[in-house]
Amino acid sequence: MTGNKDKILIVDDQHSVRFGLRSLLEGEGYRVLEADTGAQALALITEQAPQLILLDLRLPDTDGLTLLPRIKAIDDEAPIIMLTAHGTIETAITALKNGAENFLTKPFEPDSLLILIARTLDQTRTRRERLLLGLAQEQVAAEYFVGQSDAIKRIHATIERLAASDTTVLLQGETGTGKGMVANLIHRQSERRHKPFVALNCAGLSKELLESELFGHEKGAFTSAVASKAGLFELAHQGTIFFDEISEMELAVQARLLNVLEQKRFRRVGGVQEKEVAVRIIAATNRNLQHEVKRGRFREDLFYRLNVMPILLPGLRERREDILPLVQHFIAHFNHKLNRRIAGVTPKAEALLLGYPWPGNIRELRNIVERAMILCAQERLHASDLPFGDFNDEPSAAASEEFLSLEEVERLQIERVLTAQNGNLSRTAEILGVTRTTLYNKLRRYGLNEGG
């Protein structure tokens, strides 16, 4: 225990006891503080914040049991070990109930005290570290996953509910809606956060390559296998595997993956030994996987295996209340990165940002903000810094919904009805008084989601 710098406070009225304890503890590298009354103890705890407190039951001005809650009121983290010559089971129980970590009866073996101290310090340290780490991670996560729409709030709640489970998650949403980000968040917020997060993009990987990536191979399993290699299932052991663009996985590999998910075991390519699958699976796709199943491009059984907890990330145009917070978020981000001091956006730019259909979603928004900030020579981003529309950016109050063009009004109306009808095209067309084909054409023209 060399180099240990933890501060220990001894509270005991007997000089000889304090002297003995001090030499014992300093011999182990602890720093030692001493108090001979309760009042002095409280003062030292306030000023010096010791990491651990050794507390005698009998003190001249008070007794240890009365002092306990007052110490806890000042510092509820520092563990307290009660030391007493007059210990009864009852006092021990009362002490523990009042917040003491442990109880030791005098006389005791110096070694048992040292072991007890070391163990108690270790326990509080890990508890504190866990707390701090958890907090830091939650803060990072909450800070960066921007959005105040109901959809985003629901996703936040789902991520929290998923923290303690191994549930398989299927993320669906258009490109740039944040699937990769959510996959990461699920891992970071989960109890697996200290284990690996391994992401695999399934697009363009042949069956052979994907198999050896996923399951690893033994030396000599195929010509180029000059050494054996662990696959992603092994690397991600007890962590999370993220299958990005799962719809792009070849049917043959899908079959193999399904098999592994069902058996919960796998073998390396060319291997004999069975290994256990102990990972949380997250898959993502920007296609409608159910459509892919109908078209015979995705295995139905695998779809159901993955679709245990579906999370749909709506397009940005379906949650416009997130647009401005995201813009602010990326302005802050790029202010930092580009060393700029952009304060915000002009009302006209704001209206443009709110009216734009965002086919590339948040990724596109991020790119547009970055580009605008590079172009922008003023304090705020102007409409002319944005790549859509051709506006002169006189500061004016005319930038509200009242002054939208007919086309914009049409687009907004279509969107409202479509959202209210949960993307049902037939009902939307009926309400708007147009045929389905007309509606379909308009959706395409305005770059609106075709209802899934």
What pairing do the DSSP bridges indicate for beta strands 229-230 and 216-217?
antiparallel
Q: Check residue 144 for interaction with ligand ATP (CB under 6 A).
A: yes
Distance CA(142)–CA(210), nearest Å, equals 34
Residues in contact with 384: Cβ distance below 8 Å, sequence separation at least 6, in sequence order: 391, 392, 393
Q: State the binding partner of 358 from ligand ATP, Mg ion, none, CB within 5 to 8 A by kind.
A: none
Yes or no: say if 214 and 200 are a contact pair by the CB < 8 Å rule. Answer: yes
Distance CA(10)–CA(106), nearest Å, equals 14
Segment lying near Mg ion (by CB under 5 A), choices 173-181, 246-254, 318-326, 360-368: 173-181
Yes or no: say if 293 and 300 are a contact pair by the CB < 8 Å rule. Answer: yes
Distance CA(178)–CA(187), nearest Å, equals 14
Q: Check residue 145 for interaction with ligand ATP (CB under 6 A).
A: yes
Segment lying near ligand ATP (by CB under 6 A), choices 162-170, 176-184, 212-220, 253-261: 176-184
Yes or no: say if 204 and 248 are a contact pair by the CB < 8 Å rule. Answer: yes
Yes or no: say if 322 and 147 are a contact pair by the CB < 8 Å rule. Answer: yes
Nearest approach, Cβ of 157 to ligand ATP (angstroms)?
A: 14
Q: Check residue 355 for interaction with ligand ATP (CB under 6 A).
A: no
Backbone angles phi and psi of 140, in degrees to 5: -55, -50
Site map 279..298 versus ligand ATP, x via CB under 6 A: -------x------------
Distance CA(352)–CA(324), nearest Å, equals 11
Nearest approach, Cβ of 448 to ligand ATP (angstroms)?
A: 18
Segment lying near ligand ATP (by CB under 6 A), choices 86-94, 144-152, 368-376, 380-388: 144-152
Backbone angles phi and psi of 355, in degrees to 5: -85, -20
In the list 8, 84, 100, 179, the residue contacting ligand ATP (rule: CB under 6 A) is 179
Q: Check residue 176 for interaction with ligand ATP (CB under 6 A).
A: yes
Yes or no: say if 166 and 187 are a contact pair by the CB < 8 Å rule. Answer: no
Q: State the binding partner of 178 from Mg ion, ligand ATP, none, CB within 5 to 8 A by kind.
A: ligand ATP
Strand partners, 103: 82
DSSP per-residue string spanning 423-450: T-HHHHHHHHTS-HHHHHHHHHHTT---
Distance CA(326)–CA(323), nearest Å, equals 5
| 173 or 216: CB nearest ligand ATP | 173
Q: Check residue 181 for interaction with ligand ATP (CB under 6 A).
A: yes
Q: Check residue 319 for interaction with ligand ATP (CB under 6 A).
A: no
In three-state secondary structure terms, 266 is strand
Per-residue tokens: 164: 């303690």
Q: State the binding partner of 64 from ligand ATP, Mg ion, none, CB within 5 to 8 A by kind.
A: none
Distance CA(334)–CA(387), nearest Å, equals 18
Q: Check residue 175 for interaction with ligand ATP (CB under 6 A).
A: yes
In the list 17, 39, 146, 260, the residue contacting ligand ATP (rule: CB under 6 A) is 146
Terminal Cα distance for the chain, rounded: 63
What is the dihedral sign for C-alpha 42, 44, 50, 52?
negative
Q: Check residue 173 for interaction with ligand ATP (CB under 6 A).
A: yes
Distance CA(421)–CA(301), nearest Å, equals 30
| 130 or 337: CB nearest ligand ATP | 337
Q: Check residue 248 for interaction with Mg ion (CB under 5 A).
A: no
Segment lying near ligand ATP (by CB under 6 A), choices 116-124, 212-220, 251-259, 362-370: 362-370
DSSP per-residue string spanning 282-345: EEEESS-HHHHHHTTSS-HHHHHHHTTEEEEE--GGG-GGGHHHHHHHHHHHHHHHHT----EE
Q: Check residue 147 for interaction with ligand ATP (CB under 6 A).
A: yes
Nearest approach, Cβ of 359 to ligand ATP (angstroms)?
A: 12
In the list 366, 399, 414, 448, the residue contacting ligand ATP (rule: CB under 6 A) is 366
Residue nearest Mg ion (C-beta atom): 180
| 309 or 425: CB nearest ligand ATP | 309
In the list 180, 196, 270, 359, the residue contacting Mg ion (rule: CB under 5 A) is 180
Site map 326..345 versus ligand ATP, x via CB under 6 A: ---x----------------
In three-state secondary structure terms, 165 is coil
Size of the site for ligand ATP (CB under 6 A): 17
Segment lying near ligand ATP (by CB under 6 A), choices 7-15, 219-227, 358-366, 437-445: 358-366
Q: State the binding partner of 190 from ligand ATP, Mg ion, none, CB within 5 to 8 A by kind.
A: none
Return residues touching Mg ion (CB under 5 A): 180
Return residues touching ligand ATP (CB under 6 A): 144-147, 173, 175-181, 286, 329, 362-363, 366
